[in-house]
Amino acid sequence: MTPLPPAPIQPIKLGCIADDFTGATDLANNLVRAGMRVLQTIGVPAGVVDVEVDAVVVALKSRTVAPALAVQQSLQALAWLQTLGARQFYFKYCSTFDSLFAGDVRGNIGPVTEALMDALQTQLTVATPAFPDNGRTVFKGYLFVGDVLLNESGMQNHPLTPMTDPNLVRVLQAQCQRPVGLIDHTVVAGGSQAVQQRIAALRAQGVGVAVLDAVSNQDLLSLTPALAELPLLTGGSGLAIGLPANHGLKPSTQASALPKATGLQAVVCGSCSLASNRQVLDFIRSGRPALTIDPLRIAAGEDVAAQALDWAEPLLTSGPVLLYATADANAVKAVQSQLGVEQAGAMVERTLAAIARGLVQRGVRQLVVAGGETSGACVQALAIEQMRIGPQIDPGVPWCHASTELARSQGLHIALKSGNFGTDDFFTKAFGQLASSPVCV
């Protein structure tokens, strides 16, 4: 008998392109919490999407690359998302609206937005980095970070992407060929019909990109129905909170359901943030096994990864173990002055990534990784291309489920925590939460 062809995967509802990795997870997390089943891919994957989801978020690394390259990568992501059947697309950038700013380059949010508009043949899109839950609000087109304007928030001194003008209409106009307009708070306060009328008026005036004011989640939720027919939306992750409702979806535990968690548990921490230091201390105080990774021993040529794996192997069957390079600011400075900042960072990242890989080879199937750069290195070493986004552990950090050759049959549950996120007991509570979270069938 001829085998039946695989059941066709339903077209996805929303295709998202994020300009960096943690931004992608942040967006995916918001979509899941509002009711969408979401898959995140690392770059444009070579393989196919073989799970049924409502949205796919492609994580690029395009925030600080030249506009031409950012455009090329984003268009490639768009073309791939179109093959999945998406009808609406979302370009996600940072909630401080920063991107490469150097020499003649005035940022690449505008060039990428316009390239996506051209490809989708759409006349108007919206732009808002508002994310009230994280203190990012937009009023009269001005971006606030907490209680201060963007250019007083410290972002004016950012080494790669300084933001010296808080007026988003001006900032975006300097990056765009098309006229940039504003849908201000008085319109937003009038609800989605008022926003829709304003969109029609701006379109008639030839405006291509409309900056959207929003000072609260309620603003975002009430204006989103007006965006249902736009092929392209652009924003931080805040704008996402109302989108699932536009597609008839409501918050549900099933949206975040992952396959049942099995296997051994471990934490790899390469972050030296204050929160991570507290989390390491809390784990050690709880009496669980923890091993420090010494950068100077790596520099001396010892096979620190192999030693760490030998230490971990017999302990893994009794519960989670922690392997950490985390140190306080003085200790990190001392190491950096001996080895150089970049070299110390790269060496530690390589070692922790080898440890993560070795742990999975030894049966770890629930892995917490702490540190943004550390996460990037581990995801690469584990050859992860796609992750299904699951339940949130703490704001901005969900459990994910990844398929990887190293954990072929059941896949790997992984949580990627950037530096300052998470409560002090994050490294222990994460496993408990996973054990009690909904499981998909």
Phi, psi torsion values for 263, nearest 5 degrees: 80, -175
Give the range of 53-61, 170-178, 204-212, 264-272 binding ligand ADP by CB under 6 A. Answer: 264-272
Q: Is 344 in the site for ligand ADP (CB under 6 A)?
A: yes
- Specify the DSSP element, H or E, that contains 438: none
For residue 137, list its beta bridge partners.
144
State how far the Cα of 275 lies from the Cα of 422, in Å rounded to an integer: 7
Residue 15 or 270 having the CB closest to ligand ADP: 270
Nearest to 264 by CA among 344, 320, 208, 223: 320
Residue 175 or 273 having the CB closest to ligand ADP: 273
DSSP secondary structure letter of residue 293? -
- Taking the complex as a whole, the smallest distance from the CB of residue 422 to ligand ADP amounts, in Å, to 11
Among 53, 168, 264, 272, binds ligand ADP (CB under 6 A): 272
Give the range of 48-56, 148-156, 369-377, 404-412 binding ligand ADP by CB under 6 A. Answer: 369-377
From residue 403 to residue 432, the character string flagging contacts with ligand ADP as x (rule: CB under 6 A) and all else as - is ---------------xx-------------
* Residue owning tokens 């702490």: 370
* Greatest Cα pair distance in the chain: 70
Give the range of 267-275, 297-305, 355-363, 405-413 binding ligand ADP by CB under 6 A. Answer: 267-275
For residue 16, list its beta bridge partners.
57, 90
Phi, psi torsion values for 125, nearest 5 degrees: -135, 170
- Taking the complex as a whole, the smallest distance from the CB of residue 326 to ligand ADP amounts, in Å, to 6
Q: Is 345 in the site for ligand ADP (CB under 6 A)?
A: yes
Q: Is 373 in the site for ligand ADP (CB under 6 A)?
A: yes
Q: Is 335 in the site for ligand ADP (CB under 6 A)?
A: yes
Q: How many residues bind ligand ADP (CB under 6 A)?
A: 22
Percentages (nearest 5) of helix, strand, coil residues in the chain = 40, 20, 35
State how far the Cα of 409 lies from the Cα of 407, in Å rounded to an integer: 6
Q: Is 349 in the site for ligand ADP (CB under 6 A)?
A: yes
Q: Is 277 in the site for ligand ADP (CB under 6 A)?
A: no
Q: Is 369 in the site for ligand ADP (CB under 6 A)?
A: no
In one-letter notation, the amino acid at residue 2 is T
The CA-atom distances, in angstroms, between 342 and each of 332, 356, 373 are: 12, 21, 12
Q: Is 220 in the site for ligand ADP (CB under 6 A)?
A: no
Where on the chain is the footprint of ligand ADP (CB under 6 A)?
A: 270-273, 276, 295, 325-327, 332, 335-336, 344-345, 348-349, 371-374, 418-419
